[in-house]
Structure 1
Amino acid sequence: MCKFLTVPLIALFFITQGSYSQNSISGTIISNEDQSPLEQVEIYFPQLEKGTLTDASGNYSLSNIPVGPYKIVIAYLGFQTFSKTIDINQGENVLDVSLKLSAIEMEEVIVSTPFHKLQSENVVKVEYANVAMLKKKGAITLADGITNIAGVESVSTGIGIGKPVIRGLSSNRVLVYTQGVRLENQQFGDEHGLGVNDAGIESIEVIKGPASLLYGSDAMGGVLYLNPEKFAPSNSTVGDINLNYFSNTQGYGANAGFKTSGENLKFILRGGTSSHADYKTGDGDRVTNSRFKENDIKTGVAYQGTKFNTEVRYNYYATEIGIPEAIGEQTTERTPELPFQKITNQILSSKSNLFFDRSSMEFTLGYTFNERKEFEDDPQNAALDMDLSTFNYNIHYNLPKFGKVETIFGLQGMHQSNTNFGEEILIPDAITNDIGALATSHLHFNSNNDLQVGLRFDHRSINSEAAGIPSEEGYIAQLNRDFSSFNAAAGYKLNFAQSFIGRLNLASGFRAPNLAELTSNGVHEGTNRYEIGNADLKNEQNIQTDISLEYKNEHIEIFANGFLNDVNNYVYLEPTGTVQDDNAVYNYQQQDAKLYGGEFGFHLHPHPLDWLHLESSYQTVIGKLDSGDYLPLIPANSLTNTIRIEQSNANHWLNNSYAFVTLKSAFDQNKVNEFETATDGYSILNIGIGGNITVGKQDVEIRVSGNNVLDKSYVSHLSRLKSDGINDIGRNISLALSLPL
């Protein structure tokens, strides 16, 4: 615990020194159309994580700004986002901005990449999704919601268990970040979920492709970056209550938040709970023991000064999840039957920034504690009981800007301990240590050309203890392995014209084999397989080429993304043809593999019908081993078409209203691995409507959405229940209410 307090407590030094450099910035934001002042415009410094809103006269003011060049982002719905690097001088600074009208949605600052730029300024293409928008589409869980992002799917076991799939890669090949730190929760296991509740998550960023340069091992397939909700603007206090109901599972969810900020000190607190009965398929059958419940608490404190910023956040997440195996007793009970899991995650993180005259340094420290229990025969005694504790650190030094070059040096590391307490041992007690060093630079040649390059070295050591008796079945030998890797990335962005952007990126990534792949020797529960690890496995290493083209003007957006991913030493399971303990035996093997595909689409909002949005996207991925066999769990090609209406309706009883109709079609998946079966295609119709109504002096948001409104009977190719003949969820009507306090 003291490790987390060391850096934040430096704040005491700066507080006691007083604000000897009270630099400030102020100004007025107006509309370019009629010169009228704009209220509630967001003024934000991404690197400083400091922002405010304009008042009714369009005026804003921010104090305690360090001297130096910093990017300022000014965003308001219906207007073009303003982004510019400005020099903050000592004393008072003034910046007045006239925003241009735009029917294109506001651009957001991308924080998963190192230079905190808008997406249009980024060399690497990153998908961005606002969690509030995902909720409007009726997502039951966060893992369900991310499937609305192009190129992202989910390997699921019912609706309570889902793991992200990015362009055909998942589990330990996709790294999840939350609160700025790695989420470590035994993600090698297929039979438990993401481990994060959507309450208190503001947005999601997805890097589709190798991100080992920034994040090290396990990011070879991509990164799912979860941004926590921001603290309240300075000198303000806000709160809200959110209620949800889901007809299919008779499920409910509720969360409430409170946040308050002074000039320097800030505080945030949010608590949430949800409970779901067994889900019902399109055939009308409830899937026995697919029930689950979640409890979640997120809180944080922050100090923002002139030379020093720091924040500490804590998240407690607990879930009880039934593991469905068949369609049996039809009930709406909520207490899980055997087998079921109890999983808790605790995340404590701190992020601190030191600002110098022309440079800065960021320290991020994280501690994650994951407790995983599985109950198979006795609801009081866990057969599998594992604790995983992880401490990680990330230090970035932003060098002074040299001409048009921005450079960051970084040092990252992790210390992880896995401990068993139950009778069953899935993976042995082990210690894992990581350390990595990186350097990356962004070269902004002119308004049309940008180049980003980087290099990184990583070293991982895994030391595990022996488990079991050598002469008996299930014995796991002691393991001591070291893995190292150099990785590089280079990307180029070219603005062909004001509205046309092209990107070309080449990046390498790596993944050290996990403990399950190296040491398994027994039945892997939930998969009905007897798995045997391979202690001689090598690093997986990949090189991916990405090309993206994007055209965007006031009324139309068109994009095309393509990728080719060559993976050396891809780890996979291969059946031996033998049986042990009534389960088929599988060995972990390695072979080179290749994945390729992309995402294509458009977004039309024609003039003068700026309230009308027509959206379409298509995604495809193919994965094959060098032997010619297809990789398992590759999502089917899919096409999504949406008609969406959005209106401000300022003088109407329903303000900021919206409505949408979406048809999502998955095609036949016949390109399957030898121990998979083909999956038929299907189409799902989703609808939704919502907006704000005024109650007294408060705006209350209401949302109604219907997923699979035609009650289609279908199963996804990525469903782990497909082999049991169990279909996915049928019609689900969700009702939601959000009340500000």
Structure 2
Amino acid sequence: MKNILWLLLFAVTSSIYSQNTFSGTITDAETGDPVFSANIYFPEIEKGAVTGDDGRFSISNLPEGNFRLVISSIGYTSINQQISLPSDAVDFQLKPSAVEMEEVIVSTPFHQLQSQNVMKVERESVSDLQKRGAVSLAEGVTQIPGVESITTGVGIGKPVIRGLSSNRVLVYTQGVRLENQQFGDEHGLGINSMGIGSVEVIKGPASLLYGSDAIGGVLYLNPESYAAANSFQANFMSDYFSNTNGYQESAMVGTSGDQWKFMARGSLSAHSDYEGGDGLRVTNTRFKERDLKLGTGFQNSKYKADLRYNFNRSEIGIPEEMGVQSLSKEPMLPFQNIDNHVLSLDNRIFLKNSTIDAKLGYQFNNRKEFEDEHHHEEEGSEETEDHEEHEGEELHPALEMHLSTFSYNLKYNFPDFGNLQLVAGSQGMHQQNENFGEEMLIPNAVTNDVGVFTTAHYHLPKWDFQGGLRYDHRSLKTEDVSGEELFPEIDRNFSSFNAAFGTKYSFSDQLTARLNLATGFRAPNLAELTSNGSHNGANRYEIGNANLTNEQNFQVDLALEWRNEHFEAYINAFRNGIADYIFISPTDEIVDGENVYRYIQDNAVLYGGEAGYHFHPHPLDWLHVEGTFETVTGKRGDDYLPLIPASALTTTLRTEFQGGKTLLDKYIFTSLKNVFDKEEIGYFETRTGGYSLLSAGFGSSINLGKQKLQFSLSGNNLLNKTYVSHLSRLKMDGIPNIGRNIKISVRWDI
């Protein structure tokens, strides 16, 4: 009986809390006209509405407390302010602006718009990246200033943020850190762009927020949103890529009620060997990918949960030379077969004026690498025949690694103390690596992480301050393995204290300055400590160093931004000093016919920055002229660091026409990317010449009543330039990057 009374009390309390309604009107600050289709959204509650023709909105079933409200509309400056619920009707005025419609930054803890954020974060919607013709997500993120990619063909790409990559850049998906043996140069993301809503990039050390491995920055992938409350949505997307004779298909269905939400998306893609500007196809750069994303959410006035699952299977050829010319999409030996499972549960408990967040994640990564055990004296038909002999046969992987990871992220968002916001929490993971293949590159091991942190934000009319402290501890233990290869038994502990402080000052409504100081750390990974074997994907024999210590860095980041309703410009400079920087270096040793590379440490420094402008003259709201410049230099003593991207200048002209009766949201763009000569190179690298790449495209939507058909056509490297990127792992063999590629895309929204 007592339990029943408690349940009834909870139901009545929830009902009382859910009766709150927030309503108001959105108008143009200059003309006083109502703003149609403006978005009104509470990010913490994940509830919102869209204004009608009269500019009015209403959101019901809201809890009681203080929550941030975001109001945004194309062509206007977004509003982000605290609202106390319940509240009377409120009227808002939006100011016209050249700035693109801002969104709340999810990767930082205080739900700020980027213009209000102390830490500078880049944000791009994946749909915008796809419109520019990217073949993969890894290629798409390179359109963000300060972000590049280490590539092995077009099927494998690793993000590089200001010259740092691999285990120095954390990737987050579904709110949990992605763990997929990212230490390897030829280990790609394993995440399909379909079902990803937006990408956020934190440049520089983010160890305060994310712990070890965020020393270079964070690539934060936000999943696509559920359907609006009490609605059903579905869409089908199809892409064709001329260069790889490739295709990508994706279908999604979703439905939402008052409390429950559900969505499912399935995607399939396949590509043949890509063709360089010289007209030759790069043998075995073909790849296939299958992807499934599922999600279900629940929310009432006291509790919100989001359960997501992603399965990704990739079959990726590992190119070794220019050989057989084929349009086949079946990978040849050697190739990778990778299964990646990501399961996450995001919980939020709403208290009176505070919230508790608990994110739990489980991942299982099964990485297999198959090698060609047969050698050929001739190329051409014999190579093709050998590939056909393996079709339908059961192949046994030379390398098979299973990586299972459980992670958690607990946060308590304190009630606001006037202008002060405070967050405290703990993060950690338990990880196990196991080997099942004929060969071993790294031993079986168990890794445990735990970290505690607190961060605060203080707001004044002209100033904003943000800072925090964090402590992390990592334990790593391996098995003693003897046999053909010998791995030292490792039982190491790594720990670090880190701090961050940032400030933002508004000189005026137009001019803003940001200064951020941050320390970060990275514990050496399993490969760096214990490697003792042939890394076939990298074509080298790697030997680890069991005595490696933490990398520890300190970065200074300064940004200046100026904006008005017609023009926006920024300049962002940084210096990142890293003590005990870990790198792999070639030696004079030969093992099994392969060059031996060993891991060593030395101090290093990286410096550079980004600058850009956006011209959006009113009343020519349809015209946009944009330009960005990015540069980074990495040094170790008097030597330059390897795999540092070349400086680049990108200029874009685009036009956008909103609205219309039949043809909606029309756009046209053309872009020229100039990559400069790369003369400052690591001591075992070679110089890379500069090049220019021309891109263009257009698209629109057709209004079909309650349905909408979107289409776009884009082209990259339209002049079919033969070039080699400095970050291409095929550069050492003189193999060029992809030539002209035309992408045709169609999307049908139901």
Q: For residues 118-147 of structure 1, what are the alpha-carbon distances to aligned partners after superposition, in whole Å with 9 as ceiling and x for unaligned?
A: 001100000111111101100010000000
1:54 — aligned with what? Answer: 51
| SS state at 2:214 partner | coil
Summarize deviations over 1:155-177 as a string: whole Å, max 9, x none. 00000000000000000000000
Distance change (3 Å), C-alpha of 1:11 and 1:634: farther
**Contact 1:219 1:510 survives alignment (8 Å):** yes
Q: How many residues align?
A: 724
Instruction: Tell me if structure 1 keeps the 8 A contact 2:98–2:567.
Output: no
Q: Is 1:78 paired with 2:89?
A: no
Alpha-carbon distance change, 13 to 569 in structure 1, aligned in 2, over 3 angstroms: farther
**Following TM superposition, by how much is the alpha carbon of 1:93 offset from its aligned partner in structure 2, in angstroms?**
4.0
Whether the aligned pair in 2 keeps the contact of 1:14 and 1:308 (CA below 8 Å) is no
Question: Which of 386, 407, 426 pairs up with 1:392?
Answer: 407
2:686 to 673, 677, 682: 677
Contact 1:23 1:93 in 2 (8 A): no
CA distance in 1, matches of 2:478, 2:296: 37
* Cα gap change, 1:16 to 1:528, in 2 (>3 Å): farther
> Residues 130 and 11 (structure 1 numbering): CA distance in 2 closer, same or farther, change over 3 Å?
farther
- 2:98–2:568: 8 Å Cα contact kept in structure 1? no
User: Per the alignment, in what secondary structure is the counterpart of residue 518 of structure 1?
Assistant: helix
Q: Which moved more, 1:608-617 or 1:104-113?
A: 608-617
Contact 1:347 1:366 in 2 (8 A): yes
Q: 1:445 — aligned with what?
A: 460
What's the counterpart of residue 656 of structure 1? 665
Counterpart contact for 1:14–1:307, Cα < 8 Å: no
CA gap 1:373/1:12 in 2 versus in 1, 3 angstroms: farther
Kindly indicate whether the alpha-carbon contact (under 8 Å) linking 1:11 and 1:309 is maintained by their aligned counterparts in 2: no
> How is 1:477-496 mapped onto 2 (pairs within 5 angstroms)?
477-496=488-507
Match of 1:436 among 451, 476, 482: 451
Instruction: Say which of 636, 642, 646 aligns to 2:652.
Output: 642
The 8 Å contact of residues 318 and 345 in structure 1, kept in 2 or not, is answered as: yes
Question: What is the CA–CA distance in structure 2 between the aligned matches of 1:522 and 1:350, rounded to whole Å?
Answer: 37
Q: Which one of 214, 217, 226 corresponds to residue 219 of structure 1?
A: 214
In the alignment, what sits opposite 2:418? 403
- CA gap 1:79/1:468 in 2 versus in 1, 3 angstroms: same
Matches of 1:718 and 1:141, distance apart in 2? 16
Contact 1:555/1:605, CA 8 A, preserved across alignment: yes
Q: Deviations over 1:525-544 (max 9, x none)?
A: 12222111100100000000
Residues 1:437 and 1:609: Cα distance change in structure 2 (over 3 Å) = same
How far did residue 719 of structure 1 move?
0.1
Percent sequence identity over aligned pairs: 55
The verdict on how the C-alpha distance between 1:36 and 1:596 changes in structure 2, with shifts beyond 3 A counting, is: same
Moved over 6 A (4+): 10-13
Partner of 1:358: 353
Cα-to-partner distance string for 1:11-66 (whole Å, 9 max, x where unaligned): 99966975232222122333445544444322111122222323444333223322
Aligned to 2:153: 158
Contact 2:23 2:57 in 1 (8 A): yes
Contact 1:309–1:352 (CA under 8 A) maintained in structure 2:
yes
Q: 2: distance between equivalents of 1:698 and 1:398?
A: 41
* Secondary structure of 2:345 counterpart: strand
Q: 1:694 offset after TM fit, Å?
A: 2.9
Asked if 1:459 is matched to 2:473, the reply is: yes
Residue 4 of structure 1: aligned partner: none
**Are the aligned partners of 2:238 and 2:745 in contact in 1 as well (CA < 8 Å)?**
yes
Matching residue of 2:121? 126
Q: In structure 2, which of residues 576, 580, 599 is the aligned counterpart of residue 565 of structure 1?
A: 576
CA distance in 1 between counterparts of 2:644 and 2:481 reads 34
Alignment TM-score, normalising by the size of structure 1: 0.95
2:739 to 723, 730, 738: 730
Q: SS state of the match for residue 120, structure 1?
A: helix
1:76 to partner: Cα distance:
1.5
Listed one character per residue, the Cα deviations across residues 536-567 of structure 1 (whole Å, up to 9, x for unaligned) are: 10000000000000101111111000000000
Structure 2 vs 1, CA of residues 69 and 674 (structure 1 numbering), >3 Å: closer, same or farther?
same
Distance 2:327 2:599 in 1: 40
Shift of 1:408: 0.4
Paired residues of 1:666 and 1:682 also in contact (CA < 8 A): yes
CA pair 81-724 structure 1, distance change in 2 beyond 3 A: same
1:78-111 Cα deviation digits (max 9, x unpaired):
222122111113xx64233233333431111001
Q: Counterpart of 1:543?
A: 554
Equivalent residue of 2:507, what SS?
strand
1:64 alignment partner in structure 2: 61
Please show how residues 275-354 of structure 1 align to structure 2 within 5 Å: 275-354=270-349
| Structure 1: 5+ residue stretches without partners | 1-9
Q: Could you list the per-position Cα deviations for residues 650-703 of structure 1 after superposition, in whole angstroms to 9, with x for gaps in the alignment?
A: 25x532111111110111101111111110000000011111123465331110
Are 1:87 and 2:78 counterparts? no
Find the residue that maps to 1:241 and give its secondary structure. Answer: strand
Pick the aligned partner of 1:706 from 712, 715, 725.
715
Normalised by the size of structure 2, how large is the TM-score?
A: 0.94
* C-alpha RMSD over aligned residues: 1.7
1:537 partner amino acid:
L
> 2:567 matched to 1:553?
no
